[in-house]
Structure 1
Amino acid sequence: MKFNEIINKLLSVVVNGSREEALRSSKNWLNHERSLYVTDAETFNSSLEKLYEFDSKVSSRFSRKTVFDHISKQVPRLKSTDNGQAIEAEEFYKEFLLVEPKSVTVKSPISGIRLDNGVREFSLGDYKFGFMGDLTMPMSNESGMFISVTIENVYDASIAIYKAETAFLDFVRLVVFISGKLDKSIFISLGLPLNPDMSPEQMYVSTSSYQVTDSDGNLLSGNISNKLVEKIPVNNPFFSENKDFHNFWNLLSKKINNRKMTDMESRLLNSALALGESAFTKDKKNSVLYTCMSLELMFSFDEVGFYQRSIGEKLSDIFTFIVATDKEARRETSKLFKKVYRMRSAIVHGGDKELTDENLLINYLMRGAIGNMMNNEKYRNIKNISQVYEMLRDAQNSY
């Protein structure tokens, strides 16, 4: 469709009416002179989508919310001058096309981390940490810490915030991955309100309360308890200079601003982040799915050939090859892998298979495999996953 045709279709479902009619509509524009409202939300919304996609520069640089808000503000003016005169797309989007890209820093309050040894500010890769009380412009009346990241070459504040939120979540995932903890004991959250401090090292998360009764309603037991967790010391060398995983902070910096990585660098980082999410999430289904996602992100590979084995078989072979060192270990690892992958299949295909925590054993093995692939000399010159499969085939053909 031509630009003018889309505009006309959008305006065709915007009408003048009473204030009462406008208030009943899904979208309206009210002022003291007149009341406009949408009569067909489906047509209006599909027109908004077509207008958003019409100019590739606009849709690649700005969020739907920003563009939709711009279009919505234009509707009363366009409706009042709706005289059949053609509207030029370039003029309509001029406000966006004149915007120059810039680098912006996004800050967010954060709970669950700390800086030790009296440190007031600290950097880790592209992330910066500090105390909200030290900011020139306060973020809130609460005292606590913030995390910040710089997003390069953005046109739209909404896009910058979205990318920063993703970067902040990746920070949490990487911290959980590096920690190696699989007991759900790490709690890091973004935004307000902040979780209250119980000490410099601990914070309050929640209070749980349970009551157990028999079939007659007689009380058998009761429990009420506060959940306290230890805040993560991000300036501790275990996290900032970890001998096995310190390079992940550099790779995450590349990911944040879309800098080039090799195939293996991208696989290692994204696999580690998926493992971090698997260990962090409280939902058992999500934990299993993120474990399997980690394996697929690391090892998925389309081999060219007439016969293609299932992805589960291929992943089992390569995973066992990487983590197991002898025949018995390979047998047990393969058995465990297939059991976890069957849980994954049951989840995605709507089955009701009882879930276990055995995927966390895969997480443990996979964390070791990632560390091995990052630091072992035999993987030093590996640039893509096909080279790892070549190593597997060589090993299989050697006996």
Structure 2
Amino acid sequence: MCNGMGDGALTFRGIDNVKAFTDTVEYMWTKDREIYDTISRDRVRSELFILVRKCVDEGKLILDYIKDLFKNLKSEPIYSFEVLYHLYGAEYFKGHPLIIGPYTIYNTKTHRENLLEKYPHGKVELDDLDEISLESEVIIGVVEKTRDASRANEKALLRLRQFEDTIRFMIGDIEKRYDVGIFNFNVFKRTTGILLSDEITSSTNKMSGAIKPIHLHKFPINDPEYGHDRLWEILGKKNPTELEKRIISAIAWSGKALRDEEQARALTQYVFALEALLQFQQKGSMVSPSITYQMAEFAAFIISDDLNDRLKIEKMIKSIYGIRSAIAHGGSHEVSENVIYEVFSLLKNLITTLVKNETFKDFQTIEQVGEWVKIKKYS
């Protein structure tokens, strides 16, 4: 399986053995929830590598050491890491940090003492963070409880990307004049082209990206009127319901679509968002309705009690799917801005209704929504 190569190093012979080792690492890392939550995959890989080498040297079976490895890893202390990154396209000037769901937003100048009071040993790291980027005085933090810093960073990156998509969804700027981001910030840029012919020359300039920052101390970032408070609450949950997971997924696809400058790609991602939110396979049914029919029916009943409005929603979704189908099958890739406005508005309305309307307060699955739609339809 393997052999040593100087100073106790270890290599694996054959692709099958390499795959077996990788699969073992993945299994060990994900098998125990506590290990998965608090230890990074790289750490598990490193520890297992040491075990394999030890077994080769001593001629013993690796299973003899697995239990001790798990026991030792679990005996390590759990730390509460606040993972901080720069937040671009936003300003925040209030005297206290902004807490929304699992996130805390700071102004590096105004709230420096707050941070040093919480983390007196972090002065050097905070100085480094200031020097890395002079373009933003705003940083965002999320707390992760893990045994090693690498795992804390891995988990925080997922949450911070969720923040990006959610705040972009809340801003809902189809024209992309405003953007707030950590890793995928739509920075302001100018693109220039020249046009040449035998008789005429010309040039073209286009400016795109975030023009002005969002003032988070004025923006309704946590306003219950728009259901924003519920969205942050859902993101902060350790075990969201199936319906809440669908809402998070739909927001993620919407956030990606809002950043995409290519309209055809954006529309496809909005359709992914609709499907992530509403599509499901009916249990015990030999024949399921078409995706388009199911989505149209669900959306119409969730959003409106008015027959004419429901018919308009049904027509809109069928039109959206027709355009998406043309894109997928190599037809026209031209998508009008009106279609983008329509599909985003539809998603915004759906998600806001699901998180705000008392009717859906105790619903945990999309199947429950489906049963509710059936009752409404036949009542």
Aligned to 2:60: 85
| Aligned partner of residue 148 in structure 1, secondary structure | strand
Contact kept, 8 Å, 1:63 with 1:156, in 2: the verdict is yes
Q: CA deviation at 1:148?
A: 0.1
Contact 2:176 2:210 in 1 (8 A): no
Q: Give CA deviations for 1:119-167 in whole Å, capped at 9, x if unaligned.
A: 4632222211113352542224144221001124x33433321221111
SS of 1:182's partner is: coil
Q: Is contact 1:323–1:366 with CA below 8 Å preserved after alignment? A: no
8 Å CA contact retained: 2:254, 2:273: yes
Determine if the alignment matches structure 1 residue 235 to structure 2 residue 217: yes
Q: Relative to structure 1, is the Cα distance of residues 92 and 190 closer, same or farther in structure 2, using a 3 angstrom cutoff? A: same
Query: Which residue matches 2:297?
Result: 317
| Counterpart contact for 1:244–1:374, Cα < 8 Å | no
Q: Please give the secondary structure, in 1, of the residue aligned with 2:193.
A: strand
Partner in structure 1 of residue 22 of structure 2: 48
| TM-score, with length taken from structure 1 | 0.74
Structure 1 residue 168: deviation in Å?
1.1
Q: In structure 2, what is the equivalent of residue 121 of structure 1?
A: 97
**Aligned pairs for 1:162-177 within 5 A:** 162-177=154-169
Q: Is the 8 A contact 1:173 1:280 kept in 2?
A: no
Query: CA 1:315–1:114 in 2, change beyond 3 Å: closer, same or farther?
Result: same
Could you give the per-residue CA deviations for residues 7-33 of structure 1, whole angstroms, max 9, x where no partner exists?
xx2x2xx454xxxxxxxxxxxxx8xx7
Q: Look up the equivalent residue of 1:176 and give its one-letter code.
A: R
Q: Provide Cα deviations, 1:224-256, integer angstroms capped at 9, x if missing partner.
A: 7575522122232522224121222222211xx
Structure 1 residue 43: deviation in Å? Answer: 3.0
* 8 Å CA contact retained: 1:289, 1:344: yes
Give the counterpart letter for 1:243 in structure 2: E
> Deviation at 1:115?
0.7
Partner of 2:44: 67
Query: 1:205: which partner in 2?
Result: 188
SS in 2 for 1:356: coil
Say if 1:240 and 1:71 are closer, same or farther in 2 by CA, change over 3 A.
same
More strand by share: 1
C-alpha contact 1:15 1:39 (8 A) present in aligned 2? no
Q: Residue in 1 aligned with 2:354?
A: 373
- Indicate if the aligned counterparts of 2:25 and 2:41 stay in contact, CA closer than 8 A: no
**TM-score calculated relative to the size of structure 2:** 0.77
Say whether the 8 Å CA contact 1:208–1:227 is kept in structure 2: no
* Larger gyration radius, structure 1 or structure 2: 1
SS of corresponding position for 2:57: coil
Aligned pairs for 1:332-343 within 5 A: 332-343=312-323
Correspondence 1:348-359 to 2 at 5 A: 351-357=330-336, 358-359=339-340
Structure 2 letter corresponding to 1:99: E
Distance apart, 1:110 and its partner CA: 1.7
Distance in 2 (CA, whole Å) between partners of 1:353 and 1:99 is 58
The yes-or-no answer on 1:104 pairing with 2:81 is yes
Instruction: After superposition, give the CA deviation of every residue in 1:254-305 in whole Å (9 maximum; x if it has no partner).
Output: 1xxx14x444444444434433333233354542343223323332343232
Aligned equivalent of 1:250, options 233, 244, 253:
233
Per the alignment, do residues 109 and 180 of structure 1 end up closer, same or farther by CA in structure 2, a change over 3 Å counting? closer
Identity of aligned residues (%): 18
**Which is further off, 157-166 or 337-346?**
337-346
Distance 1:271 1:226 in 2: 25
The residue type paired with residue 41 of structure 2 is R
Call closer, same or farther: CA 1:252–1:344 in 2, change over 3 Å: same
| Structure 2 CA distance for partners of 1:68 and 1:35, relative to 1, 3 Å | closer
Between the aligned partners of 2:100 and 2:267, the Cα distance in structure 1 is 29
Q: Which residue of 2 aligns with 1:27?
A: none
**Partner of 2:157: helix, strand, or coil?**
helix
- Provide structure 2 residue ranges, at least 5 long, that are not aligned to the other structure: 117-122
Q: Which amino acid aligns with 1:211?
A: I
Aligned pair 1:275/2:254, yes or no? Answer: yes
How many positions carry a matched residue from both structures?
A: 353
SS of equivalent residue, structure 1 residue 151: strand
Distance 1:336 1:242 in 2: 28
Determine if contact 1:120/1:131 at 8 Å carries over to the other structure.
no
Alpha-carbon spacing, 1:226–1:148, altered in 2? closer, same or farther (3 Å) = same
Q: Which structure has the highest helix share of the two?
A: 2
Q: Residues 305 and 74 (structure 1 numbering): CA distance in 2 closer, same or farther, change over 3 Å?
A: closer
The equivalent position to 1:363 in structure 2, one of 337, 341, 344, is: 344
**Greater CA deviation, 119-128 or 34-43?**
34-43
Report if the CA contact (8 A) 1:106-1:148 is conserved: yes
Amino acid corresponding to residue 145 of structure 1 in structure 2: V
State the match for 2:138 in structure 1: 145
**3-state SS of the aligned residue for 1:189?**
coil
CA 1:44 to 1:393, structure 2 compared with 1: closer, same or farther past 3 Å?
Answer: closer
Secondary structure at the counterpart of residue 223 of structure 1: strand
Structure-2 change in CA distance of 1:165 and 1:36 (3 Å): closer
- Quick check: 1:219 aligned with 2:201? yes
List structure 1 segments (4+ residues) > 6 angstroms apart after TM superposition: 33-36
Secondary structure of the corresponding residue to residue 184 of structure 1 = coil
TM-aligned CA deviation for residue 42 of structure 1: 5.5
CA distance in 2, matches of 1:393, 1:361: 26
CA–CA distance in 1 between the matches of 2:213 and 2:373? 41
Distance 1:286 1:170, change over 3 A: farther
Higher alpha-carbon deviation: 52-61 or 294-303: 52-61
Q: Is the 8 A contact 2:92 2:138 kept in 1?
A: no
Instruction: Show CA shifts across 1:355-396 (max 9, x none).
Output: 515244122022123323333354455454344333433343
Distance apart, 1:309 and its partner CA: 1.5
Q: Does the 8 Å CA contact 1:53/1:59 hold for their aligned counterparts?
A: no
Letter in 1 for 2:83: V
* Distance in 2 (alpha carbons) for counterparts of 1:173 and 1:364: 16
Please give the alpha-carbon distance, in whole angstroms, between the structure 2 residues aligned to 1:150 and 1:352.
47
